[in-house]
């Protein structure tokens, strides 16, 4: 990004004009109303100021800022709970088929509003992500890994900073994967396989008789490509459209000594590759509009990736090739897609179902009856669809 394109924030600090680079992972506009806050500011005051649209520039102790954000989050939770239980009550009075999408959209709106409100608590950092706040830890390594090198002062939300610090921990400790004898190390901004019921499907599905070449489309951390290579597939080509995912997958391949897996930044399919004996894809599962680049792994606007994958896959398959599509039916329970629609897309793409393996997720949210989407989540089934050219 050129100097002219970079977003800067200007504000007055006790009559002194200040300027800093604006860093926002969610692409929020640079703040215009900045109010200084510190250890004397109460959570109620901070919450009210943020709800009124002010950005709060923290000047106190670093740990107190974290506590203030938690206290603001509790206030948001209470307000959300009140709204959601009201929505759920009125939803119960409507026929079931009219209810869930609206609860889903309301929940997403609430999450976006929550992110915006919490994102108004800001920190000023010097070049190299150095914080002058009391008790501030060393933020440089985590921030550089997440956002790149910084050679000038910046303003960023504490929420984004927390995301970077959390990601640094995952990157260091790894995420254990049931059924795989090694952890996977997610990077910031890359889909983290924290619910990984589909791993057992990938391990149980019988490999096609010929399995010299396989593609893993939308590889994320590289998890599925690693499973394929460990199952004995000779040549694995993994793609992703997210450059952070490619760096992350490369890191994971190197950690398990599978550096020969090829990686390509691509919109769905790799180019200049031989035809594949089978092609695996675990696309974003929900057809909805992502609100930031961080959501591109979860939400697939108008099912663009899923449909593009299905439409194009036969052209990349060798004769007798197979497609392994990993998809949960959560979108169906939320009435964002129907089973008939999915089956019609298979037919349009000239694919037929050879077999399907199913599993039920056991992650926390599927068992949390207070979750407004509990009815959908508790009935969710994750499937591996084995498809072949018709």
Ligand X SMILES: C[S@@+](CC[C@H](N)C(=O)[O-])C[C@H]1O[C@@H](n2cnc3c(N)ncnc32)[C@H](O)[C@@H]1O
Contacts of residue 301, Cβ cutoff 8 Å, sequence gap at least 6: 287, 288, 289, 290
Q: Least distance from C-beta 192 to ligand X, angstroms?
A: 8
Q: Of 139 and 357, which CB lies nearer to ligand X in the complex structure? A: 357
Candidates 137-145, 218-226, 250-258, 364-372: pick the segment binding ligand X (CB under 6 A). Answer: 218-226
Of 35, 297, 351, 373, the one binding ligand X by CB under 6 A: 297
β-pairing verdict for 154-157 and 121-125: antiparallel
Q: Of 83 and 108, which CB lies nearer to ligand X in the complex structure? A: 108
Q: Is 167 in the site for ligand X (CB under 6 A)?
A: no
C-alpha 27/C-alpha 293 separation (Å) is 9
Q: Least distance from C-beta 219 to ligand X, angstroms?
A: 5
Q: Which two tokens stand for residue 79?
A: 């307000």
- Which among 101, 141, 120 has a CA at the least distance from the CA of 332? 101
Q: Is 284 in the site for ligand X (CB under 6 A)?
A: yes
Candidates 3-11, 52-60, 83-91, 238-246: pick the segment binding ligand X (CB under 6 A). Answer: 238-246
Q: Which stretches of 123-242 are DSSP H helices? A: 140-147, 158-173, 198-204, 223-230
Q: Least distance from C-beta 369 to ligand X, angstroms?
A: 26
SS (H, E, C) 103-147: HHHHHHHHHHHHHHHHCCEEEEEECCCECCCECCCCCHHHHHHHH
> How many C-beta atoms surround the C-beta of residue 373 within 10 A?
19
Q: Least distance from C-beta 254 to ligand X, angstroms?
A: 17
Q: Is 268 in the site for ligand X (CB under 6 A)?
A: yes
Q: Of 27 and 40, which CB lies nearer to ligand X in the complex structure? A: 27
Q: Is 270 in the site for ligand X (CB under 6 A)?
A: no
C-alpha 349/C-alpha 60 separation (Å) is 59
Residues that bind ligand X in the complex, under the rule CB under 6 A: 191, 193, 218-221, 223-224, 239-242, 245, 267-268, 282-284, 296-297, 305
């Amino acid at each position: 990004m050129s100097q002219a394109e970079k977003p800067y924030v200007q504000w007055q600090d006790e009559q002194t004009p200040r300027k800093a680079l604006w860093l926002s992972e969610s692409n929020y506009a640079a703040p215009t109303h900045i109010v200084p806050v510190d250890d004397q500011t109460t959570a109620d005051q901070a919450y009210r100021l943020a709800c009124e649209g002010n950005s709060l520039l923290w000047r106190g102790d670093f740990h107190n800022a974290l506590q203030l954000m938690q206290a603001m989050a509790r206030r948001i939770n209470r307000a959300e709970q009140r709204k959601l239980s009201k929505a759920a009550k009125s939803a119960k009075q409507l026929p079931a088929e009219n209810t869930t999408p609206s609860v889903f959209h309301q929940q997403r709106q609430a999450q976006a509003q929550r992110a915006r409100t919490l994102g108004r608590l800001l920190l000023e950092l010097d070049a190299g992500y150095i914080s002058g706040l009391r008790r501030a830890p060393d933020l440089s390594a985590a921030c550089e890994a997440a956002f790149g090198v910084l050679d000038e002062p910046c303003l960023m939300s504490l929420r984004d900073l927390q995301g970077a610090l959390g990601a640094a921990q995952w990157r260091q400790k790894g995420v254990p994967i049931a059924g795989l004898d090694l952890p996977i190390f997610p990077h910031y901004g890359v889909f983290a396989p924290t619910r990984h019921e589909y791993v057992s499907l990938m391990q149980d599905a019988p490999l096609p008789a010929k399995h010299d070449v396989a593609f893993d489309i939308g590889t994320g951390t590289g998890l599925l490509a690693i499973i394929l290579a460990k199952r004995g597939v000779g040549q694995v080509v993994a793609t992703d459209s997210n450059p952070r995912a490619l760096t992350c997958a490369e890191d994971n391949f190197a950690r398990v000594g599978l550096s020969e897996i090829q990686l390509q930044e691509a919109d769905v399919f790799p180019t200049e590759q031989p035809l594949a004996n089978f092609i695996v894809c675990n696309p974003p599962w929900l057809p909805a509009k992502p609100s930031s680049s961080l959501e591109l792994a979860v939400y697939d606007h108008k099912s663009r990736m899923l449909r593009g994958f299905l439409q194009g896959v036969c052209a990349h398959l060798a004769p007798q090739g197979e497609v392994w599509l990993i998809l949960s039916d959560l979108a169906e329970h939320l009435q964002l897609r129907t089973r008939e629609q999915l089956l019609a897309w298979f037919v349009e793409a000239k694919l037929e179902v050879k077999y399907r393996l199913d599993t039920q997720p056991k992650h926390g949210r599927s068992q949390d009856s207070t979750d407004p989407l509990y009815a959908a989540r508790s009935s969710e089934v994750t499937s591996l669809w084995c498809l072949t050219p018709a």
